[in-house]
Structure 1
Amino acid sequence: MFRILTLILVLSASAASAQDRAAVERQFRSWLQGEILPAAQTQGVSRATFDAAFRGVTLNWDLPDLAPPGAEVRTPKRQRQAEFGAPERYFNRGSVDGATRIGREMARRHAATLAAVERQTGVPGRIILGIWGRESGYGRVSIPHDAFEVLGTKGFMSTRAEYFTRELIAALKVAEAGHAPPGAMKSSWAGALGQPQFMPSSFLDYAADGDGDGRADIWRSEADTIASIGNYLARHGWVPGRDWGFEVRVPATVSCTLEGPDQARPIADWARMGIERVSGKPFPDSELRGMGSLLMPAGRHGPAFIVTPNFYVLKDYNMSDLYALFVGHVGDRIAYGMGDFSGEWGDVDGLYRSDVAAMQRALQEMGYDVGGADGLAGFKTRRSIGRWQEARGQAATCFPDASMESTLRP
């Protein structure tokens, strides 16, 4: 009898859930017709384009960060963030070697296009290849989702609905312009399009025609992909003739709390402080006069770098320090045959983002600028930890670890 009752309850719950989803699906269709279509039409999107985009599209309930109407939004209390808890994982052997090996092949295959884009934009071909490899494996990684399904779902019921609604309208404008071949409007789970993984608004602003056919097809055209990445970086301020950065040795006399673009100084000044390139070569004369910043993505637990303003242009593509570092590193390996970083990533304790956020809140209450209590150990958090350590008479490591949890509590 108990089993029968349990089964009835389960079936009833499933039926109720199905009814709830069906109701939400109806709300979704009403939202598309009542809000998205009129908004898109005011920006030049035709009814035919709209109908084609949403033909057969339903809500994708498997996407992350959804907030269905009437549902309670729950945020996981403890969440691992490997990119910051253990930075070396970002540079795993397979990712680095694969991006380098295929990147060299692509450098040979597309030498003429890469050279032409570099002449037009000032962005080195190796940097374009580094981004292309990281974003889509040079077009070899499957991009499985229907862009309108993803953006429609997220625009209707995600925790960032307003942002994704804007991107949905932008995607409709892309379709209206006819850049994508039929059936090619594929995206990531977050709505990023094509081989360079542009959000639709970025496509409208930066996509470029690299093969001269009058379209910017970042799904199937490698030349358009190369041109689009170069145009994006150039428009975001890439400085021609400057490198992205150099791996260095930072003596103990130079505090890791000096990290960050807001503490930039001429590279000649860093050299006078005793910072040297790990290669043993001097900084190029052309770079000595330029501004450079200290970057220590794992604090004293990993490699260190002097980076130029071009490093922060790479961060405009993706706001992660490790992303920009990966792109520059792989580009150097492709073009110059460079090996691994000289500095070793230390054995950093894996932390949950909630743990790091708790430390950030504690530091904020003490007056430190950590850049927001988001659970991500960016440069402001790293150097604030170092300043807190120095204030306590400790050697600064400038990176969170589990031993700090008991003393760094809000």
Structure 2
Amino acid sequence: MSGFPETIALRPTPLGRTERGVKQRQSLKLALLYVFAALLALLATFPASAAKIDDQFYAWLQNDLWPEAKAKGISKKTFDEAFIGVKPNLKLPDLVMPGEKPTTPQKQHQAEFGSPGAYFAEKTVRAVSAGGRTREGANARVLGLLEKRYGVPGEVLLAIWGRESGFGAAKMPYDAFEVLGTKAFMSTRKDFFRTEVLAALEIVERGLAPVNAMKSSWAGALGQPQFMPTSFLKHAVDFDGDGRPDIWNSAPDVLASIANYLVHYGWVRNRGWGFEVTVPQKVSCSLEGPDQGKKISEWVAMGIRRVGTKAFPASELKAEGFLLMPAGRSGPAFIVTPNFYVLKEYNTSDLYALFIGHGADRIAHGDSNFTGSWGPVGGLHRSDIAALQRALEAEGYDVGSADGLPGFKTRRSIGSWQAKNNRAATCFPDADLVAVLK
């Protein structure tokens, strides 16, 4: 009786082991069935699987895109070569999964959402200006011929080349047909990208570039000038005389294509892009914009002066100029020419056009920065600015659109509202203004 019987009693019999094992297996099966059912319910709420999306994409290619491509003269050979091995790239931005509705746009990482001054970081500008001066000598003959033919200064072409692709050093890692096909199939702007993918097919069909050369950015922009396919077809130029416009490898073709693009949008020969100025407080910042132009002599009569000791060129005084204040009263100010808005056609941002003009000046005249400084503005989310825009629209102001971007219509509307409400007109959004207008 030393505990032995108790020990024996604690041991399960073979039959007990079997019963317990059966119960355990039954419990495990029930648990697995429960998990499986839960997974099925969860998957039912998820977007289509990648494999299913691939199948839908291939069906769309053959049943939807191919008939239109064929009607536009694209051969089956070209079509099949373009899309062989191509799958939808689900890592691209602004996609809408099949069966889902578009949601609010993802947060965009653009300079307009922070301080405008961040766009002009010295390291970034100097890379363009120094790189441009280095390449100016090597391409002097081509740049001279282009300026004679198109009227666009060489330093402007170099600044765009540097900004867009680091003078060709930036890698174009994407297959254009993967990007454009994915976006035409399932992006928030399907119609836009459908036009672009058809244009890309036309480029190959016409022998302007082989399929394996069609490398692009994540947005589908091609080559060193970063042309969308429709822009390539309209503006790409064969300037080196080899029979086709090669914007991936030929510097003469790249520079000529940029010049041709600018001329198409109205570049005015023998005029620059603009001048940095000082704007007295008595001149309202709400006078900004391309629809409020005046003769430069009229701006001068209002007290606006070119920075430094230089006067405006005599040839400019009778010509039209426009007030530009990209950070309102909290940054440098400019009187710009119509050519500024031609630069803006390349990328619809005031800051982009200003960067190109500033970079071109530094290539031509050396590295000097703006005289005016950028104040401590920015730091707002796009949703903050959009809320402010909607509030201004409700009061009858034209802000362009409530897109969360502080463009010139939003800036001058802010200035007008501030003046009407006995506030100092700054013409730029800030947290206090957002709080008041909400």
TM-score when scaled to structure 1? 0.95
* Aligned counterparts of 2:355 and 2:107: Cα–Cα separation in 1: 27
Is contact 2:94-2:105 (8 Å) kept?
no
Are 1:378 and 2:400 matched, yes or no?
Answer: no
* Aligned counterparts of 1:128 and 1:10: Cα–Cα separation in 2: 60
Are 1:400 and 2:396 matched, yes or no?
Answer: no
- What is the one-letter code of the residue matched to 1:118? E
- What is the one-letter code of the residue matched to 1:91? F
Q: Deviations over 1:304-357 (max 9, x none)?
A: 000000000001111100000000000110011141101000011410111000
SS at match of 2:323: strand
Question: Which residue in 2 is equivalent to 1:388?
Answer: 417
Are 1:71 and 2:71 matched, yes or no?
Answer: no
Q: Deviations over 1:197-250 (max 9, x none)?
A: 111011111111110111011111111100000000011100000110000011
Q: Say which of 360, 365, 374 aligns to 1:336.
A: 365
TM-score when scaled to structure 2? 0.89
Task: Give the 4+ runs in structure 1 shifted more than 3 A.
Answer: 3-19, 76-82
Are 1:260 and 2:282 matched, yes or no?
Answer: no
Shift of 1:15: 11
Question: Which residue in 2 is equivalent to 1:168?
Answer: 197
Is contact 1:256-1:383 (8 Å) kept?
yes
Is contact 1:294-1:304 (8 Å) kept?
yes
Are 1:242 and 2:264 matched, yes or no?
Answer: no
Q: 1:210 to 1:256 in 2, by over 3 A?
A: same
In percent, how many aligned pairs have the same letter? 58
**Which deviates the most, 377-386 or 37-46?**
37-46
* Aligned counterparts of 1:35 and 1:137: Cα–Cα separation in 2: 38
Instruction: Structure 2: state its 5+ residue gaps.
Output: 1-27
Is contact 2:275-2:336 (8 Å) kept?
yes
* Aligned counterparts of 2:338 and 2:229: Cα–Cα separation in 1: 26
**Which deviates the most, 38-47 or 253-262?**
38-47
Shift of 1:74: 2.7
Q: Deviations over 1:141-198 (max 9, x none)?
A: 1111100000000000001001100110000001112222452101111111111011
**Which deviates the most, 392-401 or 173-182?**
173-182
**Which deviates the most, 293-302 or 122-131?**
122-131
Shift of 1:73: 3.1
Question: Which residue in 2 is equivalent to 1:107?
Answer: 136
Instruction: Structure 1: state its 5+ residue gaps.
Output: none
Q: 1:190 to 1:80 in 2, by over 3 A?
A: closer
Are 1:190 and 2:219 matched, yes or no?
Answer: yes
Q: Deviations over 1:57-97 (max 9, x none)?
A: 10000000101211243326866654243101111122101
Q: 1:249 to 1:84 in 2, by over 3 A?
A: farther
Are 1:130 and 2:159 matched, yes or no?
Answer: yes
Q: Say which of 87, 98, 104 aligns to 2:116.
A: 87
* Aligned counterparts of 1:368 and 1:17: Cα–Cα separation in 2: 42
Which one has the largest radius of gyration?
2
Is contact 1:79-1:352 (8 Å) kept?
no
- What is the one-letter code of the residue matched to 1:347? P
Q: What pairs with 1:309-388 in structure 2 (closer than 5 Å)?
A: 309-388=338-417
Is contact 2:112-2:406 (8 Å) kept?
no
* Aligned counterparts of 1:355 and 1:272: Cα–Cα separation in 2: 38
Q: 1:6 to 1:82 in 2, by over 3 A?
A: farther
Is contact 1:245-1:306 (8 Å) kept?
yes
Q: What pairs with 1:209-220 in structure 2 (closer than 5 Å)?
A: 209-220=238-249
Is contact 1:81-1:352 (8 Å) kept?
no
Question: Which residue in 1 is equivalent to 2:83?
Answer: 54
Q: Say which of 31, 34, 44 aligns to 2:73.
A: 44
